[in-house]
């Protein structure tokens, strides 16, 4: 298909999903120029895109989305934006919500204002999360979030993302900006920072360390392979309707206990490697996505998220890429260090 964009600005492209997205789009849309604006926080890593850094279709700009001059400067050459840049880890937001409000809310406002002033941006995708909808009970398995489910965020992370979504939608309503919002479930795949549950557990086990399972382990997440997410975001960028929200999900609900057991099995480890630790404060019980809108309107559905194969492939990536994750573990946030009586990893 023809892309509505010739030159795409991706914010946060040095992080987990952003880097996978840039690589995916460069493969799928070889005619597109991409500028990646990223502040390189602890979660941003140029190594995530080492294989494409010298490609002439790609340009990296080291800047903060809250820096209006830098953002306006970059926008001069762009005609579309996919906004991934954010603080993204719930446990960090519980520890200190300041950076979440600042980057996720103010950063989005600065970017939206800069786009509005630039006047040449014909598509803007605000990348959001299913966590804005809050928590579903475990005893109603048929319930799932639709795009008209009221937002009811429970963590500082989710609240900051909800604020960003609503702000972006208000710029569509008020200024007729071509904004689409996506709300996706939990991603897994290569280049995920090893403080999120799957890479944390896999890399702990590769080091012979236990895995800290929060609370009773019955909290449910819907797991989607990052490339499926990238494909959905590209579909929304190219064909989504301005002013709309698009839910994105993997149709792959697992309790944390099931997830942990599967990781242990795939890695040949026993259940004695589980360390049950204090629960996350305010821990959402269940997320489940009804993704019929994106399927019916844009023809997207997940095709790479099938378990156990997709999980096994991801584990294999971390096995083969120790040089990538080992230096990052030192900075990875470890909630159990703050809360558990046992002091975290054994």
Considering only the stretches 83-91, 254-262, 304-312, 318-326, report the one whose residues sit in contact with ligand NAD under the rule CB under 6 A. 83-91
Please indicate whether residue 130 is annotated as part of the active site: yes
* Spatial distance between the Cα atoms of 236 and 11, rounded to a whole number of angstroms: 16
Name the packing angle between helices 68-75 and 107-118 (round to 10°): 40
**Site map for ligand TYD, 154-193, x if CB under 6 A?**
--------------------------------x-------
According to DSSP H, which parts of 41-141 are helical?
68-75, 90-95, 98-100, 107-118
Omega before 308 within 30 of 0, i.e. cis: yes
CA 178-128-214 angle, to 5 degrees, is 175
Span interacting with ligand TYD, options 116-124, 141-149, 207-215, 302-310, rule CB under 6 A: 207-215
Tell me: does residue 193 bind ligand NAD (CB under 6 A): yes
Least distance between ligand NAD and beta carbon 162 (Å)? 11
Q: Could you say which of 38, 79, 87, 130 is catalytic?
A: 130
Provide the minimum distance between the beta carbon of 182 and ligand TYD in the complex, in angstroms, as a whole number. Answer: 15
Radius of gyration for the chain, computed over Cα atoms and rounded to the nearest angstrom: 19
With CB under 5 to 8 Å by kind, the binding choice for 315 among ligand TYD, ligand NAD, none is none
- Residue 41 binds ligand NAD, judged by CB under 6 A: yes
Which of residues 104 and 269 has its CB atom nearest to ligand NAD in the complex? 104
The shares of helix, strand and coil residues in the chain, as percent rounded to the nearest 5, are: 45, 20, 40
Shorter beta-carbon distance to ligand NAD: residue 15 or 190: 15
Phi, psi torsion values for 9, nearest 5 degrees: -95, 125
Alpha helices in 66-141 (DSSP H): 68-75, 90-95, 98-100, 107-118
For residue 202, give the nearest of 314, 333, 87 by alpha carbon. 314
Least gap, CB of 219 to ligand TYD (angstroms): 4
Q: Which does 187 bind (CB under 5 to 8 A by kind): ligand TYD, ligand NAD, none?
A: ligand NAD
115 binds, among ligand NAD, ligand TYD, none (CB under 5 to 8 A by kind): none
Strand partners, 224: 187
Catalytic residues: 130-131, 157
């Amino acid at each position: 298909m023809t892309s509505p964009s010739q030159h795409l600005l991706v914010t946060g492209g040095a992080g987990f999903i952003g880097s996978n997205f840039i690589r995916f789009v460069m493969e799928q849309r070889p005619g597109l120029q991409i500028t990646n604006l990223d502040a390189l926080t602890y979660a941003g890593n140029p190594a995530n895109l080492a294989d494409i850094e010298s490609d002439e279709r790609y340009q990296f700009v080291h800047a903060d989305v809250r820096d209006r001059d830098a953002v306006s400067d970059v926008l001069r050459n762009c005609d579309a934006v996919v906004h991934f840049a954010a603080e993204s880890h719930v446990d960090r937001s519980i520890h200190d919500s300041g950076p979440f409000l600042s980057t996720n809310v103010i950063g989005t406002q600065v970017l939206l204002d800069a786009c509005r002033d630039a006047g040449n941006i014909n598509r803007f995708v605000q990348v959001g999360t299913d966590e804005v909808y809050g928590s579903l009970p475990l005893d109603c398995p048929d319930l799932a979030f639709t795009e008209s489910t009221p937002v009811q965020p429970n963590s500082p992370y989710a609240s900051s993302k909800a604020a960003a979504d609503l702000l972006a939608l208000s710029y569509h309503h008020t200024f007729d900006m071509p904004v689409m919002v996506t709300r996706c479930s939990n991603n897994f795949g290569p280049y995920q920072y090893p403080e999120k549950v799957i890479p944390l557990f896999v890399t702990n086990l590769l080091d012979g360390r236990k895995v800290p399972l929060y609370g009773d382990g019955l909290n449910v997440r819907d797991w989607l392979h990052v490339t499926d997410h990238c494909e959905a975001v590209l579909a929304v960028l190219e064909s989504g309707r301005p002013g709309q929200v698009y839910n994105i999900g993997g149709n792959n609900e697992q309790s944390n206990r099931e997830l942990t057991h599967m990781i242990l099995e795939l890695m040949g480890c026993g259940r004695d490697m589980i360390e049950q630790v204090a629960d996350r404060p305010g821990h959402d019980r269940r997320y489940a996505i009804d993704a019929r809108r994106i399927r019916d309107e844009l023809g997207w559905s997940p095709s790479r998220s099938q378990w156990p194969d997709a999980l096994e492939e991801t584990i294999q990536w971390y096995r083969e890429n120790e040089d990538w994750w080992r230096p990052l573990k030192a900075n990875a946030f470890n909630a159990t260090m703050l809360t558990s009586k046992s002091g975290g990893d054994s």
